[in-house]
Homo-oligomer: A and B are copies of this chain.
Amino acid sequence: MQISLDYTNMMADAIGAEYGVSDDELAALSSRTAEIHAQICQSREQGELPFFDLPEESEMLAEVQVLAAELRQSFENIIVLGIGGSALGTAAVMRALSLTHNLQGSEQRPGAPRLFVLDNVDPDGFSAHLALCHPAKTCFLVVSKSGATVETSCQFLLARQWVETAVGTQNFQDHFVLITDPENGVLRALAQQHGYRSCTIPPGVGGRFSVLTPVGLLPLACAGVDIAALMQGAADFAKKVCHGDLMTNPAYLNATLQYLAYQKGLKISVMMPYSDRLRDIADWFRQLWAESLGKRYGLNGQELFVGPTPINALGTTDQHSQVQLYMEGPVDKVVTFIAVDRFANDLKMSKYDAAPQLDYLSGHSMAELIGVELLATTAALTRNHRPNCTLRVSEVSPESVGALLYLFEVQTLFAGYLFEVNPLDQPGVEEGKQFTYALMGREGFEEKGREYASIQSRSKPRLLDC
């Protein structure tokens, strides 16, 4: 398994000096990189960045494998209840490694249950998925670090009622695994006092860095993904991104290129895999990048707002949707392509006599075409002075996906240091949560309810009914 980063078209000699990065700019950041790396090492030593060491947690892996084997024996459906970091990694890896898993007629791995990731509180979506499953054959993995996530709490209450109605008050707990903090929160209390099985999210690992904990590993293992290989891929790749040399550490280098582009006014960062399997890796990354770097801070009494806006796209599909804008719209984007060298399948086109206009395709394969289209799009963007780079993986496998996850996590952490924000918190979502509690009538949030009312009353309502 190999990964390469081609950043030719990020540089000034390829796309011009206005938006291109120069060698001098990179060189100027190399000592800063070494400093940040030293800080990261120190934080790791102090136990503040445990996500780095997850791929080596063989005991955690073994425990998950045992539990997953048990669940696979007992259930036909595994339903993840979780949102944000509790859901996105699982969904992304599942798609990468088992593309049509839940579809009728698909060649499921032997004995693997279906896996649904329900990450919303839409009653139509929730009901439609429950309707596919028999409660006696269904296990819910309830994922919330704090145990207090309102969406997950709602899902859990409803799923519990649904299962209890079907299997009775004695056994419904067997249909749940609670994945949460080792000590705190309502889910942990339930596990301790009411006979639910549970898994632990290691302390200090935030939601968006948790895919390589039971949060992601348990559901993936249930569905038949080789989580040992996933972890091994991350562990092997860790060696390549845990040193302080800017020009040879792909995580640091990619973060730095993105940072420099942002400084030049390119505040939108597109990630565009040319691979159906890798599509949702870009969606998982969207949370990682947005929530880690999108931050407000005060500097000399002035309020500053920073953070690149991540966008997920899919090649070739979005060539017919977004590329017009990337090519001719405002110069405010960096595109990171993800290329795949070898697909598991390929299909060769043969000549069709009735359509000589299509002869130019005969003898070529679909894998060739998708590869060529990526090169063509790259060239066209470059000629239009639009910065772009390409991450290339030799193939989509548990190992390469594990490596990508690790790469992007380290890249995001490092970018946090460059942008001088805390990449591990998310203070900006707090107020919305509190308004939600207030509007749900939760005790203790009455003041927030009054604030909500005052925001509403402040401005003239503008409503167009049609």
Interchain CB contact (< 8 A) of A349 among B84, B157, B354, B439: B157
- The proximity string for A residues 307-325 relative to B, scoring 1 for CB distances below 8 Å and 0 otherwise, is 1010100111101111111
Q: For the complex, is A388 an interface residue (Cβ under 8 Å from B)?
A: no
Nearest Cβ on chain B to A255's Cβ, whole angstroms: 13
Query: Which of A33-41, A54-62, A428-436 faces chain B?
Result: A428-436
**Chain B residues whose C-beta falls within 8 Å of the C-beta of A328 in the assembled complex:** 294-296, 305, 307, 427-428
Alpha-carbon distance A375/B157, docked complex (angstroms): 22
Interface size class of A (residues with CB under 8 A): 35 or more
- State whether B432 touches A323 (Cβ < 8 A): yes
Nearest Cβ on chain B to A67's Cβ, whole angstroms: 22
**Chain B residues whose C-beta falls within 8 Å of the C-beta of A125 in the assembled complex:** 99, 276-277
- Kindly report how many copies of this chain are found in the complex they form together: 2
- State whether A305 touches B330 (Cβ < 8 A): yes
- State whether B343 touches A123 (Cβ < 8 A): yes
- State whether B455 touches A379 (Cβ < 8 A): yes
Alpha-carbon distance A107/B131, docked complex (angstroms): 8
Alpha-carbon distance A154/B350, docked complex (angstroms): 10
- State whether A83 touches B317 (Cβ < 8 A): yes
- State whether B332 touches A309 (Cβ < 8 A): yes
- State whether A267 touches B133 (Cβ < 8 A): no
Q: A132-B105, A364-B440, A435-B380 are in contact. Are A319 and B429 (CB under 8 A)?
A: yes
Interchain CB contact (< 8 A) of A267 among B247, B330, B442: B330
Q: A332-B267, A428-B324 are in contact. Are A352 and B157 (CB under 8 A)?
A: yes
Query: Which of A9-17, A44-52, A211-219, A222-230 faces chain B?
Result: A9-17
Q: For the complex, is A418 an interface residue (Cβ under 8 Å from B)?
A: no
> In chain A, residues 146-160, which have Cβ atoms closer than 8 Å to a Cβ of chain B?
148-151, 153-154, 157-158, 160
Closest to A127 in B: B345
Alpha-carbon distance A442/B136, docked complex (angstroms): 58
- State whether A466 touches B120 (Cβ < 8 A): no
Q: For the complex, is A456 an interface residue (Cβ under 8 Å from B)?
A: yes
Interchain CB contact (< 8 A) of A376 among B267, B287, B435: B435
- State whether B311 touches A311 (Cβ < 8 A): yes
- State whether A376 touches B432 (Cβ < 8 A): yes
Could you pull out 23 A-B pairs where Cβ atoms are within 8 angstroms?
A10-B462, A83-B319, A84-B317, A84-B320, A103-B104, A103-B132, A121-B369, A122-B274, A123-B366, A125-B277, A149-B320, A150-B369, A157-B352, A267-B330, A290-B322, A291-B324, A311-B311, A324-B429, A327-B428, A376-B436, A376-B438, A379-B435, A380-B431
Q: For the complex, is A193 an interface residue (Cβ under 8 Å from B)?
A: yes
